[in-house]
């Protein structure tokens, strides 16, 4: 069964556990940085696993923006050694606050190194990948959605194929929109808050809100993003089957 799971999480919400869980099961892992500086895709083949180490082949791709969308990648065979995670700045253990990361004396890259080896001619070298891995948030520009190549980014990430293997899960997901609407209505009724349903297809905003200047009904419609998209016909067929079932 092919499914794309999206995990939203902040600090200490289990992201690292889920990442390693996916890697161990040879799932394509797509990590989207919240502040929009980079996207990391990880392919993993686990050859052997023990509780504290694993023999694996890992292929990492980092999408980032330096004067335009770039991607750098590295594939390597490695023995991953598990280390117990520690809260380096945790108030539970005051010793960690005073020592923490500052105890690491490893020499880093100079600013001249970073400037030189992040030029586009180095994009497929180990040093470029290493610098991007360590400093992407400092040197990358924001990831403008207009420059993203979604076909490449989502390639190999399990997605809509679910429709061909387990339609009921697709219907359950679509039913969620109705469940959310029902939950809102329940809350409004619970607290005696008056409400009026609005039909996006047939109702007129002017009739409800009374404002004279109106926008076209399709002003914020996403139709332009659907043009020349071969996936739209598939989605349209799924929608038709959903409403007719």
pLDDT tens, position by position, 184-229: 899 889 999 888 888 878 888 888 777 777 777 777 666 666 666 6
Listed as ranges, residues in the chain with pLDDT below 50 are: 1, 87-106
Beta-bridge partners for 50: 53
The Cα–Cα gap between 136 and 152 comes to 20
Q: Please give the C-alpha separations between residue 184 and each of 142, 202, 203, in angstroms, as whole numbers.
A: 35, 22, 20
Tokens of 43: 């392919």
C-alpha–C-alpha distance, residues 155 and 228, integer Å: 19
Spans of all domains in the chain: 15-106+139-153, 166-244
The Cα 197–Cα 212 span in angstroms is: 21
Which pTM was predicted? 0.58
| 62 contacts 40 by C-beta, under 8 angstroms | yes
- Structure confidence at residue 61 (pLDDT): 94
Give dist(CA 29, CA 144) in Å, integer: 21
């Amino acid at each position: 069964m092919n499914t794309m799971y999206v995990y939203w999480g902040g600090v200490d919400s289990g992201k690292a556990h889920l990442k390693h869980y996916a890697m161990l099961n040879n799932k394509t892992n797509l990590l989207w940085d919240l502040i929009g500086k980079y996207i990391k895709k990880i392919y993993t083949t686990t050859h052997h696993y023990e509780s504290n180490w694993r023999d694996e082949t890992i292929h990492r791709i980092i999408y980032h923006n330096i004067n335009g969308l770039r991607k750098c990648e590295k594939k390597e065979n490695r023995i991953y050694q598990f280390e117990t995670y520690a809260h380096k700045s945790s108030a539970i253990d005051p010793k960690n606050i005073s020592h923490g990361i500052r105890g690491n004396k490893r020499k880093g890259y100079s600013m001249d190194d970073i400037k030189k080896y992040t030029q586009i001619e180095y994009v497929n070298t180990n040093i470029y990948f290493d610098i991007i891995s360590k400093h992407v948030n400092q040197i990358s520009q924001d990831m403008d959605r207009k420059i993203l190549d979604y076909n490449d980014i989502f390639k190999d990430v399990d997605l809509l194929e679910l429709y061909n293997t387990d339609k009921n899960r697709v219907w359950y997901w679509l039913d969620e929109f109705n469940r959310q609407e029902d939950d809102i209505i329940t809350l409004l009724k619970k607290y005696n808050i008056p409400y009026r349903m609005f039909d996006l297809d047939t109702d007129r905003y002017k009739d409800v809100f009374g404002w004279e200047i109106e926008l076209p009904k399709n002003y914020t419609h996403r139709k332009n993003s659907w043009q020349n998209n071969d996936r739209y016909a598939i989605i349209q067929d799924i929608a038709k089957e959903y409403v007719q079932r």
